[in-house]
Structure 1
């Protein structure tokens, strides 16, 4: 944990700040070259706008036996946690009464599979360990102080994550950071209110572990599952209640030590509401984490999902494209663009669903795929198209059924290679092209009352 007025490195998966952030390449001990682009500092000149979104109510909760084919034995016993006040100030503790932390005996079980042991190396040459939470197929939420520390030379130059690590085996293997995001304010003055960040990974390891959701709601019981300094790399968990909330912090009498920073503080719905990050110097306050506010939620979404998302489960028609080299782009709704324009990237798969509608009925759709032709009809959020086969979507059709079809028309259009945006079509008509070997790059969809 990071103590007040003391810099201590530990990882925490969580938030981001509306209007700007910092993006950093973290690969093979490379030196980071920062550039200022508007409200965003980035190593690659990236600039983006954060749209307002709502809580991620749906989580990818993986049940049953998970894929551990990439399991590997890993000895991390030699890595030290930076000394903090708990060690250098006698009598300072972060355990409330008897130790309430419980060993997780099966770290391949969701949601523990999303808890991530993190190792980071800094320009000083020091290596540290922390915790984080998988929130996307290639995204981990953690504390900013695990990623950037002025006392250690600034940005972490190498970050490696081990989801579900059990003290000796990494059941899902490991992944390395290819990009790091934190709020710009953290890099300037390191205020506790901005202590959150996102790690983008070099592989979609979250497809095996499942993912956690995010929320601004601070009601109900909370759980912290993390890698504490005194537990030798094993995952421990504890459930309790919130003792107090402020504008930017969530307080709790849950036991924390160095190494558990960056753990997601999550509710019974497996939604993260804060990033575990701090212990106070005395017992006048409880341990606490950086609260996920609406602004931070927007930032986290933008960082984690390639800056292309608007809403989650908005009333109306919701849809999402899987795009070449980017993966799933994040849910959008009601005429918002999903995909990319001007980047020459192919759409490979799509999901479409309805939310909050007053009538019964399904939304059905099918895709025309490179080399395969028309696939079968699917419905209500099922994946149409292909992933991992480098095949372009060339056309698609959408239609409503039941009372939805009696009361609404579904309209949609495609942005096509060399053609741009096509005209709107509706109710089962074809958007895109067939027989021309042209890729769909983006789509828009909307419902119109009859």
Structure 2
């Protein structure tokens, strides 16, 4: 089992033992069984989203569950309080709304409706890494230092809505009560270890597809363009927004980028294009005055994601 702050923990009585066999350095993506041509990307590794005309797919009917239409607060506020300033959009807002959310890769991203232990409700974002596992921020699945009686700890449930577009749910919704994180977050509340996962009771990810994930050295990341798409709370509820740009800087545990995001996108994939596939390199979690940042997928993080995907 991983030692130190990367020690895996769960709200369920499951054995979290790292695989005995040596794992591959990268886990590959899948475009899923939904079909359709994936969205193109540019030569510099950004998604090609300008002038998009593809219609929403209606081949998978939505389940009998209504997406919430009223604005809800960002799950980050549950642990950190209201933001002091709009720190996550730097200068002109470059975000582009994604309307063909049932197409790959956009359907890999899920809008999350989080119900905390005290029954308060919040929003976040997650992304599939396998048929039944989504990655998100640690503070999405486990609340720290809220100051509200009965709110801290593992959340009660999360409604997962892949490819959501407002009230339209092209793949329906599924509820998770099975969560993962690491002691660096659940015990210490350390932002350097702010990552987690949720496991759903179906294999919906086999339909939507998923992103790969991997760990790259500093020099490689510093010359890489990365992409973020998720569900920000400053836009109409349940709409997906994208932005991309080069990596600004890295340290051993985090990746920094001048990509516009907003509260509600906590847990989004920070991903690169590699050999024609989409691979997460960090989990978006924080804003800043000049750059935003995510928890870097190091080898220790990678090993936990492989464990949680199994």
| 1:50 Cα offset (Å) | 3.8
**Match of residue 267 from structure 2:** 262
SS of corresponding position for 2:139: helix
Q: Deviations over 1:210-235 (max 9, x none)?
A: 11100112352100000001112200
Mean Cα displacement is larger for which, 257-266 or 173-182? 173-182
C-alpha contact (below 8 Å) 1:136/1:206 kept by paired residues: yes
Q: Aligned to 1:109, which of 97, 103, 106? A: 103
Q: 1:279 to 1:18 in 2, by over 3 A?
A: closer
Q: Deviations over 1:383-411 (max 9, x none)?
A: xxxxxxxxxxxxxxxxxxxxxxxxxxxxx
State the TM-score, normalized to the length of structure 1: 0.56
Paired residues, number: 268
Q: 1:266 to 1:47 in 2, by over 3 A?
A: closer
Q: 1:185 to 1:110 in 2, by over 3 A?
A: same
**Match of residue 226 from structure 1:** 230
- Written as runs of structure 1 = structure 2, the 5 A alignment for 1:5-404 is 20-24=7-11, 43-44=12-13, 46-51=15-20, 52-62=22-32, 63-64=35-36, 68-72=59-63, 74-82=66-74, 84=77, 89=84, 91-150=85-144, 151=146, 152-217=151-216, 218=221, 219-232=223-236, 233-268=238-273, 269-280=277-288, 283=289, 285-305=290-310
Larger relative contact order (C-alpha < 8 A, sep ≥ 6)? 2
| 1:97 Cα offset (Å) | 1.2
C-alpha contact (below 8 Å) 2:5/2:193 kept by paired residues: no
Q: 1:113 to 1:289 in 2, by over 3 A?
A: same
Q: 1:243 to 1:47 in 2, by over 3 A?
A: closer
Structure number with bigger Rg: 1
Q: Distance in 1 between matches of 2:16 and 2:269?
A: 28
Pick the structure with more strand per residue: 1
State the TM-score, normalized to the length of structure 2: 0.80
| 1:54 Cα offset (Å) | 2.4
Q: Deviations over 1:327-354 (max 9, x none)?
A: xxxxxxxxxxxxxxxxxxxxxxxxxxxx
Q: 1:157 to 1:256 in 2, by over 3 A?
A: same
Structure 2 unaligned regions, length at least 5: 38-56
RMSD value, Cα: 2.3
Structure 1 unaligned regions, length at least 5: 1-15, 25-42, 306-450
